[in-house]
Structure 1
Amino acid sequence: MFLSRVQVDTDNRRKIKDLTHLGAYHNWVEQSFPDEIEASVRKRHLWRLDRINGNLYLLVLSDEKPVTEKMEKYGVPGRLVTKSYDRMLNSLTENQQMRFRITANPTYSVFQSGDKRGKVYPHVTVEQQKKWFMSKASKNGFEILRHDTGDLNDENSFVFDIISRDRPILGRKKNRNVRLSRVTFEGILRIKDVDLFKHMLVTGIGREKAFGMGLMTIIPLE
């Protein structure tokens, strides 16, 4: 697998005039793998938008390397970096501590009698969104570290926070903008089950993965 990053050329209005909604970014990602399109093999690519030091970056996790010309279509020329992801995955060990970042779509479902699929609603408060993320930890092979406050019931002791929350436009439907809830979490975790954790890293967490949600990236603590 490969993790790629390119700086979005936000200073070039002519170049990015189409990037007004998440659906356009999704299309950019898909078009970066023309061999898959030609073979009618549409693989799911996890991706995320990161804003770092005032610059906007597109990150993409994929089985194959993206085509440079396609991935730089809306990017700054020469700013595409692609690295092997397998080496990092193979280096993971139980109890390893990691700094993490993930952008996700915290939601819940309400089922009514006779429903095969519940109606999906976004979590809207910071407290709800944090609890949603904490509920995903054990089933995905990790735990969030805690400050030693002596109170195991103190939810503020967990070493993570929300660094951004917004409702970007997904696209348009019946002449109105459709929006998604987007939340970015950062913190420190400990790996508890390597296999579950690896699976989560390559498949993502939560809904709307095709539209920039669910990709977690990690950096080992020194």
Structure 2
Amino acid sequence: MHLTRFRLNTARGGARRLLASPRAMHAAVMNAFPEVLPTDTDTPRVLWRVDRNAKAEVFLYIVSPTPPDLTHVVEQAGWKQRPNWQTYDYGPFLSRLAKGDTWAFRLTANPVHSIRRGDGEPTKVTAHVTPRHQMQWLLQRQEAAGFRILEKPREQRLLPEGDEYELLVHERRDRSFDKPAEDREAKTKERERQKRRVTLVTATFDGRLEVVDPESLRHTLTHGLGRAKAYGCGLMTLAPVG
């Protein structure tokens, strides 16, 4: 596995177009792997995430089985006179993860749940929209994902409830876009347009965790957590605490 970081040149129109459309960014990422054909049904998982640290400090992270070739992204959204991306062998880091290790983490996810509005009706996937419910979504998945989010010491808790964990939710976004039409006729049909409409609610989580199951955590880091992985969700990265 490989971990890649690419800094986007936000002064360029191409970068702004990619950042405005998860579908366009997904296409740009997948085009970085010439060995993967669009018709492949068993394509190895490629995860990606955009981190907006500041207006002029925006990074694209990619986790992939093979190193990407991002030359085409440089041409539309990078700098031509400097290195734009770095790719690292992810294997040694993953193999060193051990039970009891503590790490800072970041995850952008699509927190959703299934609801049934009435008896006999099918369930419907619905997004969590409040920070409290989005936190609960992650807390409910932490054990199966191989980690435990650390709890704050009591003296550091500012609120009587909802402030127990080393966890922050930010960059909450509500996106809506169309999937590409399969044929020209479908573009003119409202029903088909609604079927192709994608509504995506995302949230970014920053926090601290303890490794409880290294093998499960390795799977989470390389296969993602939650839904909408094609649209920039599910990629968790770790960093030293401090």
Q: When the two structures are superposed, what TM-score results if normalisation uses the length of structure 1?
A: 0.88
Assess if the C-alpha contact under 8 Å between 1:21 and 1:169 holds in 2.
no
Q: Which has the larger radius of gyration?
A: 2
Aligned with 2:167 (options 160, 170, 177): 160
CA distance in 2 between partners of 1:31 and 1:126 (Å): 34
Per-residue deviation, 1:71 = 4.3
Q: Percent identity?
A: 29
Report the equivalent of 1:187.
207
Report the equivalent of 1:201.
221
Gaps (5+ residues) in structure 1? none
Report the equivalent of 2:68.
66
CA distance in 2 between partners of 1:109 and 1:184 (Å): 21
Report the equivalent of 1:47.
48
RMSD (CA atoms): 2.5
Question: One-letter code of the match for 1:192?
Answer: V
4+ residue runs over 6 A deviation: none
Gaps (5+ residues) in structure 2? 180-191
CA distance in 2 between partners of 1:158 and 1:32 (Å): 38
CA distance in 2 between partners of 1:17 and 1:162 (Å): 24
3-state DSSP class of the match of 1:157?
coil
CA distance in 1 between partners of 2:64 and 2:163 (Å): 35
Give aligned pairs, total: 218
Residues 48-84 of structure 1 show CA distances to partners (whole Å, capped at 9, x for unaligned) of 0101233221111100000141343433232111111
Assess if the C-alpha contact under 8 Å between 2:32 and 2:69 holds in 1.
yes
Report the equivalent of 1:21.
21
Q: When the two structures are superposed, what TM-score results if normalisation uses the length of structure 2?
A: 0.81
Per-residue deviation, 1:12 = 1.3
Assess if the C-alpha contact under 8 Å between 1:49 and 1:212 holds in 2.
yes
Decide whether aligned partners of structure 1 residues 155 and 23 sit closer, same or farther in structure 2, where only a CA change above 3 A counts.
Answer: same
